[in-house]
């Protein structure tokens, strides 16, 4: 709209103004309002700029786009998230991993906890057995094996949301097995033998029909329950339906703090 040849009475409501008693730019934050005095989401001062939704939070309270139309930056006040180039800005990654030479005594049809290593292959000759069910057990009691459990636990100090999980696996023999992996969260009680309770399935991969050592396999997992509250511990588990091969494994968890 152009103001050319328009009178003030025909245009003033659409004009933006600062309600600052005709004192110009304020030294404290003031709402930018229309000519009728209705506030916008924008607040300004000589040193600050703020976006503060007036009526409703939205997924795009602030949005910056490229000329192509792609969103470069987005502020979501509904979910309290900031995204840049398609990713939440506090996106992080965590890793579980083990190499075959340190995972060679695992029996068939048992879920075994994989060491939490955050990027470095870990060694273990002592396994935590999480049962033989379709999914790992939902509770675990230590006997003389607390030292085995600790390297497999990822303690969660802040609320977080899992965005994706990926895994790589490789066999060490010509004949492989049908394998599967799970990610579980548990309530953790420090200083107790019944230390893991209230297990929840966070994510799992589809069964992999591993044909042996000639090829590695990548899995993109199904996320079953994405939110994990602070104070929980997270374990990853591996199971094979037979023991034709031993396996090297890496699991990558993509998450953001909430």
* Range from 1-10, 39-48, 176-185, 240-249 that averages highest in pLDDT: 176-185
Residue 242 pLDDT > 60, yes or no?
yes
* Per-residue tokens: 212: 């042996």
Domain count, the chain: 3
Q: How much is the pLDDT for 164?
A: 97
pLDDT single digits (tens) 73-111: 888 888 888 888 888 888 999 999 988 766 667 788 999
Whether 32 and 123 share a structural domain: no
Whether 148 and 217 share a structural domain: yes
Q: How much is the pLDDT for 125?
A: 55
Whether 115 and 232 share a structural domain: yes
Question: Is-contact 29 19, C-beta < 8 A?
Answer: no
Q: How much is the pLDDT for 206?
A: 97
**From 107-111, 130-134, 198-202, 232-236, the region with the lowest mean pLDDT:** 107-111
Whether 20 and 95 share a structural domain: no
More confident position, 194 or 127: 194
Domain containing 70 equals 57-89
Whether 123 and 249 share a structural domain: yes
Residue 144 pLDDT > 60, yes or no?
yes
Whether 95 and 32 share a structural domain: no
Residue 126 pLDDT > 70, yes or no?
no
Whether 2 and 95 share a structural domain: no
Whether 2 and 84 share a structural domain: no
Q: How much is the pLDDT for 101?
A: 66
Question: Is-contact 205 168, C-beta < 8 A?
Answer: no
* Per-residue tokens: 51: 């976006």
Tally of residues, the chain: 258
Q: How much is the pLDDT for 26?
A: 92
Whether 75 and 50 share a structural domain: no
Whether 204 and 192 share a structural domain: yes
CATH number at residue 200: 2.60.120
**What predicted TM-score, i.e. pTM, was given to this entire model?**
0.83
Whether 76 and 1 share a structural domain: no
Averaged pLDDT of the chain: 91
């Amino acid at each position: 709209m152009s103001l050319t040849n328009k009178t003030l009475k025909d245009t003033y409501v659409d004009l933006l103004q600062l309600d600052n008693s005709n004192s110009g730019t304020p030294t404290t934050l003031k709402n930018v309002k229309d000519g009728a005095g209705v506030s916008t989401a924008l607040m300004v001062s000589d040193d600050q700029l703020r976006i503060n939704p007036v009526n409703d939070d939205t997924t795009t309270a602030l949005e910056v786009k490229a000329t192509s139309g792609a969103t470069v930056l987005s502020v979501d006040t509904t979910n309290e998230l900031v995204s840049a180039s398609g990713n939440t800005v506090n996106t992080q990654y965590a890793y579980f991993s083990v190499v075959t030479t340190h995972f060679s005594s695992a029996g068939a049809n048992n879920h075994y906890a994989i060491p939490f290593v955050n990027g470095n292959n870990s060694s273990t000759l002592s396994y935590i057995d999480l049962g033989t069910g379709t999914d790992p057990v939902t509770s675990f009691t230590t006997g003389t094996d607390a030292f085995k459990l600790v390297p497999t636990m990822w303690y969660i100090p802040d609320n977080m949301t899992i965005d994706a999980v990926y895994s790589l696996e490789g066999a060490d023999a010509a004949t492989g097995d049908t394998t599967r992996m799970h990610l579980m969260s548990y309530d953790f009680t420090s200083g107790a033998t019944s230390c893991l309770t209230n297990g929840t399935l966070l994510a799992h991969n589809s069964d992999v029909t591993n044909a042996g050592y000639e090829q590695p396999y990548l899995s993109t997992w199904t996320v079953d329950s994405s939110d994990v509250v602070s104070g929980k511990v997270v374990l990853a588990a591996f199971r094979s339906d037979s023991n034709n091969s031993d396996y090297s494994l890496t699991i990558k968890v993509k998450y953001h703090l909430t």
